Structure 1
Amino acid sequence: MFKRIIFILVISASFSLQAIAQSQSSCSQTLREAQLTYERGRIDLVPEQLASCLKSGFNKEEKIAAYKLLVNTYLYFNESDKAAEAMTFFLSLNPEYEIDVIADPSEFINLYNSFRTTPVYLLGGKAGSNMTAVNVSKNFSLDDSSIERGKYNFIPGFNVGIALEIPITKKVSAAPEIYFSQKKYQYRDLILGFADLNFEETQTLVELPVFVKYNIGNYGKNNNITPFVNAGGSVSYLLSSEADVLRKDAVSGENQREVSGPSIDLADQRNSINYAAAVGAGVKLKNIIGRGYLIVDFRYTYGLNNIVNPDNRTANTSLVYDYLYVDNDFSINNYSFTVGYLIPKYKPKLLVKKSKK
């Protein structure tokens, strides 16, 4: 019994696939006949020829060709509304169509140019690395604070997030983003002439940068390379901040005494919300992976405010007494390099109503 059921299902599936194949073959023939009908001047017959296969039977490429044929048919009879409707379907299936000034009729080109053919938005993700530079505005120390204290060094961090691009014109876009990022830096100082301090801070943040992006132009063999520049600002929220601290005291000769311990929570000594200005440049690469854009982006972010909470500067007694460390007033500048991928979302729309002749 079970084998009989399996046999019946296989036979039924085979007949179904055969019927679908015959239908597709029939509709392919229908499209060829409709194109010949158009070329022979019996244009009024074209819509009726295509109607049933447009409902069911054409594959995507055949639908694109059929709707383009319908656009030209309706334009021939000055049926502007029907031509615009067919163009909407055509561009929905083929939103990145490029006009052929030699092959496409001028009426088709004029109607195409009356449509919004740029993406409504581009959405995707970005990830990359960053380097943090510390900009000291005022020195504080248990030692002589009238001179510039210590040295700040880069430690690589990372950022990963979601990027949105909203075209305003063909060259100008608004580009809000949201990132989860980690920033690090190292501070080295010799305090009171004997205490060699190594202080490494790690900050984990959520960042909300907003940019205005300007596309310089399209280059390359198929205009697939688009360099851009951007400028804007960013607000960040500090999720956590910790420091790994090591103090080495020179006691006598080569003898040293070390002071170390677990990571120290710095959240209370940092402002939770911080602001920055940013500029950047990069390039969008089309047709590298799928139909989206591969984005390569470099940016510089300049911190606008002191990230240290002055009321809690010396609140952590372990930092002060065990490590002889006191925060300077400083802001954070950041260099970041990201690679991303954005997928365009199209919604063709008639922007200029075509008047009937």
Structure 2
Amino acid sequence: MKLFNHTLFRIFAAILLFWLSSAISLAQTADCNEQLKQGEELFKIGVLDSIPLIIEPCIGKYDQARRIDAYKLLILTYIYLNRYSLADIYMEQMLRFDPEVLVENVGSQEFIQMYKSYRTKPLFGIGIHLNFNVAQPILTINSEDNFLAANHTTTPFIGAGFAVGPSFQFYPFRKAYFDVHALFQTQRFGFNQSLLNFADVNFTENQILTRLQPSVIFEFTNRNLKPYLKAGAGLSYLIRSTATVERTYSNTSDFNQRSITATDVIVSNLRQRVQLSLLAGFGGVYSIRRGKIYFELELQNLMHNAIVSDRRFSHDNLIYNYFYTDNNFLLSNINVNIRYIRTFYKPKKIGK
């Protein structure tokens, strides 16, 4: 019983201590908020020497918005007192606390010039990139390579895939910077072939790739939601490519002419393993505290033939069982991208 009472007393004492400390903290914060208002009034009437005495002891007790206001007030005060070294100290403290602080509404050219004397753009960014893609084959038939092309009609069709991976950004300039993704990607597409009104072949291909995609982004305006354009390239490596193949006969009255289907037919060796593409896109980036969220639409085009031409007739199963041979084709992807970037800063006086 004594042990229970002792434990209960300790819990009660801890709760009381927490309540008292919270009450004291709230009281101090309320006092500091009043002192900030008092400091702003003193600034308006030109009584500058008293402002640091009431603001500096409270600088760590404000919430984010009031702390920024307090920093701005101290910087302006020391600028007008010609104590630029102290103004620089608080400018650097403010930028370390919030490197994305807005200063356009300060109304002091000396303040703006001091702000511009610091490196305020991010050093780099790290985040996650999500991609939803639609792949569209574009036929570039070469009858000299594929003599069977004259004997069948090929119709490409689109398919959907996705990509995910880390994203990195580097900022040599504030509105023009590098954006690099390292992605794991899937894509799907296919072809319908009709052979001399004799047989129809449905060929659906699923690819798994890794892709390194560097690009340059050009932002417009300084608002929280900024439109932008981008251009870049993609270097992909095809990990695996498989196909589902179905052959049906145009004349189904003959019982012996039944349809056949095969899944997971490996066609990786028929494809170019290393693939180079160019891309362009546009979108909007929404700035949040120490981060950015991107929404974009992107067009990506393969810059060379997707198949290995001299292996076109090397897959006996496709040729003799399904009457299928590859045509030359390019690949065009429409990508819908979403990504989050966490930005990292190191504010520093330029020239130091």
TM over 0.5: yes
Structure 1 position 74, deviation (Å): 2.0
Structure 1 position 205, deviation (Å): 1.4
Q: How many residues of Structure 1 are paired with residues of Structure 2 in the alignment?
A: 345
Q: Is the contact between residue 308 and residue 329 of structure 1 (CA under 8 Å) also seen in structure 2? A: yes
Structure 1 pair 259/38, CA: closer, same or farther in 2 (3 Å)? same
- Which residue is equivalent to 2:24? 19
Structure 1 position 46, deviation (Å): 3.2
- Which residue is equivalent to 2:3? none
- Which residue is equivalent to 1:324? 323
Q: Among residues 122, 126, 133, which one is paired with 2:129 in the alignment?
A: 126
Does residue 64 (structure 1) correspond to residue 63 (structure 2)? The answer is: no
Distance 1:9 1:225 in 2: 47
Distance 1:2 1:15 in 2: 20
- Which residue is equivalent to 2:298? 299
Structure 1 position 329, deviation (Å): 3.2
Distance 2:34 2:225 in 1: 39
Provide, for residues 184-218 of structure 1, a one-character-per-residue CA deviation record: whole Å limited to 9, x for no partner. 11211123542210000011112211112222446
**Structure 1: 5+ residue stretches without partners:** none
Q: Is the contact between residue 139 and residue 148 of structure 1 (CA under 8 Å) also seen in structure 2? A: no
Q: How does 1:206-355 map to 2 (within 5 A)?
A: 206-217=210-221, 223-251=223-251, 253=253, 256-286=257-287, 292-310=291-309, 312-351=311-350
Q: Among residues 112, 123, 126, which one is paired with 1:109 in the alignment?
A: 112
Structure 1 position 270, deviation (Å): 2.3
Q: Is the contact between residue 180 and residue 213 of structure 2 (CA under 8 Å) also seen in structure 1? A: yes
Distance 2:104 2:278 in 1: 43
Distance 2:12 2:115 in 1: 52
Structure 1 pair 209/146, CA: closer, same or farther in 2 (3 Å)? same
Q: Percent identity?
A: 26
TM-score, normalising length: structure 2: 0.85
Per mean C-alpha deviation after superposition, the further-off stretch among 247-256 and 232-241 is 247-256
**Structure 2: 5+ residue stretches without partners:** 1-5
Letter paired with 1:200? T
Q: Is the contact between residue 146 and residue 327 of structure 2 (CA under 8 Å) also seen in structure 1? A: no
Structure 1 pair 112/252, CA: closer, same or farther in 2 (3 Å)? closer
TM-score, normalising length: structure 1: 0.84
Letter paired with 1:22? A
Q: Among residues 51, 59, 76, which one is paired with 2:56 in the alignment?
A: 51
Structure 1 pair 232/46, CA: closer, same or farther in 2 (3 Å)? same
- For the residue of structure 1 that corresponds to 2:307, the secondary structure is coil
Structure 1 pair 200/44, CA: closer, same or farther in 2 (3 Å)? same
Letter paired with 1:179? L
Structure 1 position 305, deviation (Å): 2.6
Provide, for residues 238-272 of structure 1, a one-character-per-residue CA deviation record: whole Å limited to 9, x for no partner. 22211011001245547651111232122232232
Letter paired with 2:56? A
Distance 1:213 1:33 in 2: 45
Distance 1:39 1:217 in 2: 32
Q: Over aligned residues, Cα RMSD in angstroms?
A: 2.9
Structure 1 position 122, deviation (Å): 4.3
- For the residue of structure 2 that corresponds to 1:308, the secondary structure is coil
Provide, for residues 53-89 of structure 1, a one-character-per-residue CA deviation record: whole Å limited to 9, x for no partner. 33x4333333222211221122123233321221122
Structure 1 pair 184/114, CA: closer, same or farther in 2 (3 Å)? same
Q: How does 1:24-173 map to 2 (within 5 A)?
A: 24-54=29-59, 56-100=60-104, 104-139=107-142, 144-146=148-150, 149-173=153-177
Distance 2:157 2:342 in 1: 37
Distance 2:229 2:37 in 1: 47
Per mean C-alpha deviation after superposition, the further-off stretch among 168-177 and 246-255 is 246-255
- For the residue of structure 2 that corresponds to 1:184, the secondary structure is strand
Q: Is the contact between residue 251 and residue 257 of structure 1 (CA under 8 Å) also seen in structure 2? A: no
Structure 1 position 21, deviation (Å): 2.0
Distance 1:72 1:37 in 2: 12
Structure 1 pair 286/59, CA: closer, same or farther in 2 (3 Å)? closer
- For the residue of structure 2 that corresponds to 1:26, the secondary structure is helix
Structure 1 position 308, deviation (Å): 2.3
